[in-house]
Structure 1
Amino acid sequence: MTFLFLGVACYILFVYLMFTSLWPLSTLYFIWLVMDWHTPERGGRRTTFVRKWKVWEHVRDFFPIKLVKTAELNPNRNYILGYHPHGIMGAGAFTCFGTDSCGILEMFPGIRPSLAVLAGLFRIPFFRDYIMSSGLYPVSKQSLGHLLTKSGKGNAVVIVIGGAAESLASTPGVNTVLVKQRKGFVRVALEFGADLVPVYAFGENELFKQVIFPERSLRRRIQDLFKSIMGFAPCLFAGEHFVILPYRIPVITVVGSPIPVPKRVAPTEEEVDHYHRIYIEALCKLFHEHKVSCGLPESQKLRII
């Protein structure tokens, strides 16, 4: 409900208050918003209180969502975790890394997870303060740079690599990840000397059924145009019970082994391509090693686009 409606509701509330006797509240908040504009990219306002809300445990148990560790993460290093696939809502990404309900702090001692999401969400009044309190950050270079340089070691920045474009390929029974042309996260990892870690969430694509429009069709072009303007894709999807409730399918989020990455102030294209290729190979290996134990048939393929 918050994913679909809270942002819009916050906009409506902000405008509505301007035309009531409570207009000073909106005016004061607008002044605060201008003064606080860059806070999300400078460390935000993360609070343990929100990350440990009891409701997140109910969210975890609804599916259920499980976090699986395959290797240690050294707290003396920084990391960029590439999360795949996006799915419709990224339920596994938020529950595992945007809250403490899946036990990530106990599983990886000394590691501080930070989920990077669409930067436009931090322009929504009231909503921005809510998501900042859960430890969400804009997926911008300035924000990533701050997390990887100003907060010591042990930072694990989680990026949903495929983003909104990948959500358009989300459908049950298909494991498609958009990563071939996504190299920016590798460049950032090299610039700040952060190790790369592939993460795959088995079951993420099973939570909703989506109408997939053919490439180059008018409806798909409209989706792509909307995505390019607004930053997110308008998916036509349905779940069970009142349509918007996701199916109760287990989501198993597997964290792979870290890929050592050297620090390069100005990485070359060859270096970026080299570590990008290693990352894709590690992601494929992670998928095929765990697909059977996570409920997929041996014949299931991972499609890289």
Structure 2
Amino acid sequence: MTKILGIDFAPVFVPLHRRLETLAVLHFVFIFFSPYFTYVLAFYLLFYTRFWWLPLLYLGWFYVDKDYLADFFPIRLVKTAELDPNRNYIFGYHPHGIMGFGAFVNFATEATGFSSKFPGITSRLCTLVGQFWFPLRREYIISAGTKRIRSRESIKWILQRPVPGQAVVIVIGGAIEALNAHPGSHTVVLSNRHGFVRAALVYGADLVPVFCFGENDVYFQYRNPEGSFLRYLQFFGWSPPIIFGRAALRCVLVNCAISVGKPIRVNQCFNPTEEQI
């Protein structure tokens, strides 16, 4: 670490694998924040220039960089209980964090070896419908098995498949929980978010608690307490946080451990009451 005028700068000479890990995180951050520009550019390059090969090369990189993305922090998956491959599951994931690195890496890629830790279980990460509104971005996230969280048909399609061992992963707190993502804080949002419990009852899927330790430590977020003017401005369908962190990535190196808990057995009930939920 080089220090100039009281400022700590990252070392210049680092191993190649660290550069690749940094590139993988930059890729994820770039995709998260710039859907409009990137996909218009990709469409233009693909169909109107001689550089059509660049978007295709980039798509190939998407399948390679997932391991580097996990190794950057690093992110690891911790198994605390067995999951019966003859049952279906709804994973309730907390916290959302700013970008949900842990949810994506663990349940939309094989970077942490999900299928080897839970043989016979197929995980599908759910996200907001708005993520599917952008050309090419839609195909990008669908290729990772991602489904629409606000589409009951998507969850129904997964949990009613003839093959058991299906796991729907829902980041329950959503964008509101992202606004509570501060280092050292673990505020979860559950109030009025019981739809996943209703779905578990209707389709007879067991509930699995999942928690990512370190997700909220990846970014520093400006203070935005409840009732503040900043929180009022952030109260949209997509709640944009104001963040700062390390270098161009704006994130902090922190160990992220995702703990998959013991499943809660759920007996199927086609018309659950509010009391049951």
Aligned residue pairs total: 239
Instruction: Give the alignment partner of residue 135 of structure 1, picking from 126, 145, 157.
Output: 145
Provide the C-alpha distance between the structure 1 equivalents of 2:203 and 2:87, rounded to a whole number of angstroms: 11
Determine if contact 1:52/1:99 at 8 Å carries over to the other structure.
Answer: no
What is the CA distance between 1:9 and its match in structure 2? 2.0
Q: CA 1:151–1:113 in structure 2 vs 1: closer, same or farther (change >3 Å)? A: farther
**3-state SS in 1 of match to 2:265:** coil
Q: Check if 1:5 corresponds to 2:10.
A: no
3-state DSSP of counterpart to 1:219: helix
User: Take 1:90 and 1:142, find their aligned partners in 2: how far apart are those partners?
Assistant: 24
Over the residues paired in the alignment, what is the CA RMSD in angstroms? Answer: 2.4
Deviation at 1:105, TM superposition (A): 0.3
* Residue identity opposite 2:186 in structure 1: N
SS of residue matched to 1:135: coil
Q: Give 1:151 shift.
A: 5.1
CA contact (8 A) 1:161 1:178 kept: yes
Give, as a single letter, the amino acid of the residue that structure 2 aligns with 1:269: E
Given candidates 185, 198, 206, the residue that maps to 1:187 is 198
Alignment of 1:33-112 (within 5 A): 53-112=63-122
SS of 1:129 mapped into structure 2: helix
User: Partner residue of 1:234?
Assistant: 240
The residue aligned with 1:261 is 266
CA contact (8 A) 2:32 2:99 kept: no
Q: Which amino acid aligns with 2:159?
A: L
Say whether the 8 Å CA contact 1:51–1:134 is kept in structure 2.
no
Q: TM-score, normalised by structure 2?
A: 0.81
SS at match of 1:271: coil
- CA shift for structure 1 position 90: 0.4
Aligned to 2:3: none
> Residues 115-264 of structure 1: matches in 2 within 5 Å?
115-139=125-149, 140-150=151-161, 152-224=163-235, 227=236, 231-242=237-248, 244-264=249-269
Q: Tell me by how many angstroms 1:246 deviates.
A: 1.6
- Post-superposition offset of 1:10: 4.1
Amino acid at match of 1:178: V
Q: C-alpha distance in 1, partners of 2:204/2:262? A: 16
Distance 2:189 2:109 in 1: 25
The separation in 1 between residues aligned to 2:137 and 2:154, in whole angstroms, is 18
Determine the C-alpha separation between the residues in 2 that align with 1:217 and 1:125: 36
Instruction: Give secondary structure in 2 for the equivalent of 1:213.
Output: coil
Letter in 2 for 1:235: P
TM-superposed deviation, 1:130: 0.7
Percent pairwise identity:
44
Q: Is the 8 A contact 1:201 1:254 kept in 2?
A: yes
Alignment deviations for residues 232-254 of structure 1 (CA, whole Å, 9 cap, x no partner)? 21100112012x33211000000
CA deviations on 1:49-96 (whole Å, 9 max, x unpaired) are: 979933111111110001000111111100000010000010000000
Gaps of 5+ in 2: 1-28, 49-58
Pick closer, same or farther for the CA change 1:201–1:122 going to 2, 3 Å.
Answer: same
Tell me the distance in 2 between the aligned counterparts of 1:185 and 1:151.
21
Asked if structure 2 preserves the Cα contact closer than 8 Å seen for 1:52 and 1:100, the reply is no
Shift of 1:152: 2.1
Amino acid across the alignment from 1:61: D
Contact 2:95 2:173 in 1 (8 A): yes
Matches within 5 A, 1:286-297: none
Amino acid aligned to 1:124 = F
By how many angstroms is 1:215 displaced? 1.9
Gaps of 5+ in 1: 23-48, 273-305
SS of residue paired to 1:146: helix
User: Does the CA-based 8 Å contact 2:31-2:38 persist in structure 1?
Assistant: no
| Aligned CA distance change for structure 1 residues 123 and 52 (closer, same or farther; 3 Å) | closer
Question: Quick one: which amino acid aligns to residue 84 of structure 1?
Answer: H
Structure 1 residues 12 and 5: alpha-carbon distance in aligned structure 2, compared to 1, 3 A threshold = farther
**Structure-1-length-normalised TM-score:** 0.73
How far residue 5 of structure 1 moved from its aligned partner, in angstroms, is 3.4
Counterpart-to-counterpart distance in 2, 1:162 and 1:50: 32
With over 3 angstroms needed to count, the CA separation of the structure-2 counterparts of 1:215 and 1:52, relative to structure 1, is closer
